[in-house]
Chains A and B, each alone.
Chain A
Amino acid sequence: MDASIKLFTALILSPIVMLGMHAIFSRLFLRYRPHTHRYIVFIISVTIGHIPMGTAIWNIWFHNSSATPLEAASAWIYALIVYNAMAYSYFHIFNMSETARRIRILSEIDKAGRLKASDIVSFYGVKNMLDARIDRLIAIHQIKQHNGRYFLDQKLLYVIARGIAGWRRFIGFPSSKGLL
C-alpha cells in the first residue's frame, strides 16, 4: 500500500486513538487522582497520544526508503498539524459535553420529556451558570478569590478571551453589551 494511503488512514483513525487514550486516562485519574481537573486529564491524554501516532507514522515512513529528507520532514509536519488540529476539535466536543449551556438545557428537556422556559430558569438560572463557571475557573487557576473578591490568576484564558474579542470585532460582530 502506498505510504500516502497509510498516512491518510492513520490520521483518519487518530480521533479514535484520542478517544481511547482519553477514556483510559479519564478512568485512571478518576480512580487514583480524582482531584485532577478534567482539562488536565484531557491534555495528558492527547499529549501521550502523540506516541502511538508518532510510532505509526515512523513505521510508515521508516519503511519508505525512497523518501527524501524534505519529503519525510513534510510528512512529519503534516501529521503534527492534522493530529493536533483534530485534537483541538475533539477538545471542543469534549468541552461542549462538559460546559455548554445548550447541551445542559437539551439534557434537562430530554430528562423531563418537555419543559417550559420558566422551568429551566428555576433550576438552571444565572446563579447556577455563574457558580459553575467560577468554580471551574478557580479549579484551573484562571481566577482566585481573596477576601470575598475575585481576581485574575494565571492569564492563559484571559489572553484567549482577548483574542476572541478581537477576532469578533474583526469579522464584524457587534459588541455584546460590552461583554465581548
Chain B
Amino acid sequence: MSITILISGALIFIVSLCVHILIWRRRHPKSHAVALLLIFIIVPVIIGMADWFAYRFLSKGFISVSIFNWLLILLLHFSLAAAYILSYPALQAVSPSLAMLLIIKSSMPHGLTYNEMRSSFTVDDLLDARLDDLKGGSLAVESEGWLRLTWRGLLLVKSMKLLRVLLGLPRGEG
C-alpha cells in the first residue's frame, strides 16, 4: 500500500477535526449531529469524488490515486471519524460516571460519602436532560404527558436488544 493512502486518510481526518474545532469555538451549531455528519462524512466524500473525477478525466487530481485507493483513504478517515463521533455524546452530555470520578478526586484525600456524592446530581441533570435529548433526537414523542417511541427510537431499542441477545447478555442497567 502506498504511504500516500495512509497519510491522505489521516490528513483528511485531521483537517475535518480542525474545521470542527474552528466552527464549535466560534458558535455551536443548532444540530450537532447534522453538522458533524456534514464535516466528517459528506464534505470529505464530495471532495474525494471531485478529486478522483479531476484525476480520472482531467489528469489534475490533488491526491491522484485510483478509485480503489480512494476507498481505502476514505475508510481510514471514516474509521477515525466514527470513533470521534461516537465519543461525542460523552462530550455533549454530562456523563455521571466521569463526573463522579472528578468529584471524588476533588474530595481526596478525605473521600466522599454516598449522600455527598448524590447531592451533586439532580433529576434535571440525569433524567430530564436525557428525556429532552430523546425528544429532540426524534427518538420519542410526548403527547398529553405520555412518552411514546418513534420508529427511530424503536429501531434503536430493537438493535440494542439484538446486540444483547447475540452476546448472551441481559438488558443493560443504564
A interface, CB within 8 angstroms of B:
2-5, 7-8, 11-12, 19, 22-23, 26-27, 30, 38, 67, 70-71, 74-75, 77-78, 81-82, 85-86, 88-89, 92-94, 96-107, 109-110, 113-117, 120-121, 124-130, 132-134, 136-137, 142-143, 146, 148-152, 157-158, 160-162, 164-165, 167-168, 170-173, 176-177, 179-180
Main secondary structure of the interface of A (DSSP, over half): helix
Between B117, B123, B126, the greatest number of chain A beta carbons within 10 A of the residue's beta carbon is seen for: B126
B66-94 contacts to A (CB < 8 Å): 68-69, 71-72, 75-76, 79-80, 82-83, 86-87, 90-92, 94
Measured between beta carbons, the chain A residues less than 8 angstroms from B3 are: 70-71, 74
| A89 and B172 within 8 A (CB) | no
| A78 and B97 within 8 A (CB) | no
| A165 and B92 within 8 A (CB) | no
Measured between beta carbons, the chain A residues less than 8 angstroms from B90 are: 164
26 A-B residue pairings within 8 Å (CB atoms): A4-B1, A4-B68, A67-B1, A71-B1, A75-B1, A78-B5, A82-B79, A85-B79, A93-B163, A97-B163, A101-B174, A102-B133, A106-B156, A107-B174, A114-B146, A115-B147, A124-B174, A134-B100, A137-B101, A150-B114, A165-B98, A172-B26, A179-B94, A179-B99, A179-B103, A180-B98
Measured between beta carbons, the chain A residues less than 8 angstroms from B28 are: 172-173
| B79 and A81 within 8 A (CB) | yes
Is B30 at the interface (CB under 8 A from chain A)? Answer: no
Is B164 at the interface (CB under 8 A from chain A)? Answer: yes
| A179 and B83 within 8 A (CB) | no
Measured between beta carbons, the chain A residues less than 8 angstroms from B157 are: 103, 106-107, 110
Measured between beta carbons, the chain A residues less than 8 angstroms from B69 are: 4
